[in-house]
Structure 1
C-alpha cells in the first residue's frame, strides 16, 4: 500500500526520520536512546500501548513504530491526568446525541483512537504502510461474528492506519476469515497458546493465497498476562515450582511460537504484548518482532535505565526449565504443546479469560461513569 505524494510538513519530516531509521537498520551510526539502539541493532521494534496523546508523541519521538489500544482504553483516558478534560468534552458531545450508553462508549473509543491514528499517520504514509499502525478493538461484550465484522468496518473508517484487533477465538477466526478476504488489516489478539498462533497463521495462509495485495496480518502474543495467570495458578494451587523457571514461562512460549512461525514462513507478523515487567521487552530483544508496552512505567523506565542492548531472545530456553513448567503446570503445558487445544477451547482458556475479564471490568466502569455523567447533565 503506497500513499500518494504529500507535501505536508509533518509527513516530510517523518519521511526524513524513516529514511534515517532505515539507515540505522543497515548498520549506520546510532548513539541515541535505548529503543533507537534496539531498532538499529536488532530486528526488534517498539510499539506503545493504551497511550494518551502526549504519550503517543513521546513514543514516536523515542522510536515507536506502532500503537495498540484495547477496550480498557476509553476508561483509562477518561481518568488520565492529561487527557481527561478532552475525553469528557468528547463524551458530553456524544451523550447529547446518543441515548445508548454502550454505543456512546463505542463512539468515544473511536474518536479517541482516531486522534492517536493522526499522530502515527505521517509515519504510516512515509513508510508506505509498513509502520505507523494503530489498533482498535470492539466492545468486549459483543464478540459474536457479526458484531466483530461490523466493528471492523466501522473502525476502518477512523484512519488509513487503523488496524482491526480481533481475539483469536472460534468466532474471532470466523470473522477474520471474512475480513481477510475483504482486504482488512488485522491484529489477532489474546493469543496465549501455540495452537492459537497456528490457527490464525493457517487461516491467513489459506485465505490470502492468490490475493494480489493481501492485507497486513499481525498476531499479538500476550506474554505478560500469561505469566500473571500462571503466577495466580501456582499460588492458588500451592504448586511447588522453581521461581526462576516460572519467570521465563511467557517468553518460553513466545520463543517457540516465533520459531514455528519463522520455520513455516507464514507471513504473519509477530507482536508481543501484555507486558507486566521490563523483562517482557528486554527478553524479546533479538526477535524479528514488535513489542508493545505501556509508556508510563515501562517504556519511560527503559529509556531512563538506558541499559545495554542484548539479543536475549536468541538464547534457547533450557530443557530443565520447560520440563519443570510442563510437568507441574497444566496451563503451560497446554499453551506450549501444539495439539493441546481446539478452536472451541480458546475462549475459555484461563489466561485468555483473565485478559478479556480485564477489558470487561474497565468497560463496566466506563459504562457506570457514562450513566452517572448522563444523569448529572
Structure 2
C-alpha cells in the first residue's frame, strides 16, 4: 500500500484540512472516504468554492425548486443550500471533532464578503449563521480587517468558533491573536466556559509570492539591472511567503508565553492555531508541495485544495520545518528594503487584503446572479 505522507504530518502536531466542499463530495461518500484514507481533519470553504459548487450543478435543483415554492428570495435560497451542505459536512466530521476533544473536525463558512468592513453586520451574521446551522463544530470565518477584528472579539465572547481569514502581514496575525484573547477574557470575566471554543488564524501564502514575484519579474524585464541587483532579486523570488509565515509562528510562540494567555490556558482555553491558507503553488517552477513541506510544525493547520492533498500524500517530504532557518527568514524580510530590491512589504500586504476581499465579493455576486438566472429557469410557468 502506498505511503500517505499526510498521516506522517499529523505526528508533528499539524492537522490537514481540505479547502473544498461540494454536495457531490458529501452525497457520493467521497468526503467520508477522504477522512478515512487521507486523514483530512476539517474543511474550509469560501464564496469562490460555493460558486463553483452550485453554478451549473443540477444536484441543487430540487432544493432550489423547494425555495421557489416557499417564495424565498434568491439570497435565502442560497443560504438554504450552503447551510444544508455545512450541516451535513459537520455531521460527517463529528467523530473527528469528538476524538480530538474539539481540536479538529470543523467546517468553516464565511459571513457574506460584502460586509467585510461593517463590524455590527459581521457580528449579527456570525451569530445568525452559528444559530441557524446549529452544529457545535461549525467555524465562522471573519476577515481580519480593521472592522472584522472587533467582531472576532465579540463573537468569541459569545462562545462561537471563529476562523480569522485573509491574514497576510505578521502584524495582522498578531492583532487577530489578541482579538481572540480579548474575546476569551471577556467571556471568562462573565463566568462562562471557555474550554469549548476554537479558533484558527488563516495566514495566506501563495498570493504573497505571486505578488512579489510579479514585481521582481517586472524589474528584471525592465532591463538596466546590474549583475549584483539581479542576483539579489532572484534570491528573494518565491521565498517571501514562507519566511513571513515562519516569523508569524515565532510571534505565536511569544503570545502563548504571555501571562494573559497562560491565565486563559489555566481555565481550559485552546490555543488559536495558525492555519496556512492559499497553499496551492501558482508557479509551475516551484514544488507543488512547497507550502506544505516548509511549514510543518506543532499547533498548526494547513488547508489544501484536493490536488495539493493528492500531491502531498504522494511526495511530501515530512519534517518539522516551521522553526528551521528562522534567522534567514528575518534577514530575507529585512532585505526587501535593500535599494537593489526595493519592495515595500507593507504596501504589498495592504494590496493583498484589498484584493482578497474583492476575490470573495466577485464570486459571491456572480453566484447570486447565476442563482437568480436558475431560479427564473426553474420557476413554474
Residue of structure 2 in register with 1:117 after alignment: 90
CA–CA distance in structure 2, aligned partners of residues 360 and 301 of structure 1: 30
CA–CA distance in structure 2, aligned partners of residues 243 and 89 of structure 1: 54
| Inter-CA distance 326–50: structure 2 relative to 1 (3 Å threshold) | farther
Select the residue among 256, 269, 272 that pairs with 2:247: 256
Structure 2 unaligned spans of 5+: 223-229, 262-270, 282-288
Residue of structure 1 in register with 2:199 after alignment: 217
Structure 1 SS opposite 2:164: strand
CA–CA distance in structure 2, aligned partners of residues 33 and 204 of structure 1: 34
Q: Which runs of 4+ in 1 moved over 4 A?
A: 235-241
Residue of structure 1 in register with 2:110 after alignment: 137
Q: Which structure has the larger Rg over C-alpha atoms? A: 2
CA–CA distance in structure 1, aligned partners of residues 46 and 374 of structure 2: 23
Structure 1 SS opposite 2:109: strand
User: Post-superposition shift, 1:244?
Assistant: 4.5
Select the residue among 297, 304, 307 that pairs with 1:293: 304
CA–CA distance in structure 2, aligned partners of residues 173 and 272 of structure 1: 19
Residue of structure 2 in register with 1:302 after alignment: 312
User: Post-superposition shift, 1:301?
Assistant: 1.8
Answer yes or no: is the 8 Å Cα contact 1:180–1:207 preserved in 2. Answer: yes
Residue of structure 1 in register with 2:170 after alignment: 194
Structure 1 SS opposite 2:103: coil
User: Post-superposition shift, 1:287?
Assistant: 4.6
After the TM superposition, which residues 1-377 of structure 1 pair with which residues of structure 2 at under 5 Å, given as runs?
A: 32-40=3-11, 42-52=12-22, 53=25, 56-61=31-36, 62-79=38-55, 84-143=57-116, 144-157=118-131, 158=133, 159-209=135-185, 211=188, 212-214=192-194, 215-235=197-217, 242-265=233-256, 266=261, 267-277=271-281, 278-295=289-306, 297-303=307-313, 305-317=314-326, 318=328, 321-327=332-338, 328=341, 330-333=343-346, 349-377=350-378
Answer yes or no: is the 8 Å Cα contact 1:98–1:104 preserved in 2. Answer: no
Residue of structure 2 in register with 1:25 after alignment: none
Structure 1 SS opposite 2:279: coil
TM-score of the superposed pair, with normalisation by structure 2: 0.78
Structure 1 unaligned spans of 5+: 1-30, 336-345
Structure 2 SS opposite 1:170: coil
**CA-to-aligned-CA distance 1:157-191 (integer Å, 9 cap, x gap):** 32221011100111111212221211111111110
Residue of structure 1 in register with 2:227 after alignment: none
User: Post-superposition shift, 1:74?
Assistant: 1.9
CA–CA distance in structure 1, aligned partners of residues 279 and 294 of structure 2: 11
CA–CA distance in structure 1, aligned partners of residues 48 and 273 of structure 2: 24
CA–CA distance in structure 2, aligned partners of residues 55 and 48 of structure 1: 12
CA–CA distance in structure 1, aligned partners of residues 54 and 368 of structure 2: 12
User: Post-superposition shift, 1:68?
Assistant: 0.7
| Inter-CA distance 79–376: structure 2 relative to 1 (3 Å threshold) | closer
**CA-to-aligned-CA distance 1:253-301 (integer Å, 9 cap, x gap):** 1100110111221532111111132211121123531100111x21012
Answer yes or no: is the 8 Å Cα contact 1:226–1:351 preserved in 2. Answer: yes
Answer yes or no: is the 8 Å Cα contact 1:50–1:68 preserved in 2. Answer: yes
CA–CA distance in structure 2, aligned partners of residues 209 and 156 of structure 1: 21
User: Post-superposition shift, 1:49?
Assistant: 0.7
CA–CA distance in structure 2, aligned partners of residues 247 and 289 of structure 1: 22
CA–CA distance in structure 2, aligned partners of residues 150 and 290 of structure 1: 27
Answer yes or no: is the 8 Å Cα contact 2:46–2:110 preserved in 1. Answer: yes
User: Post-superposition shift, 1:137?
Assistant: 0.5
| Inter-CA distance 79–104: structure 2 relative to 1 (3 Å threshold) | closer
In angstroms, what is the RMSD of aligned CA positions? 2.6
User: Post-superposition shift, 1:213?
Assistant: 2.5
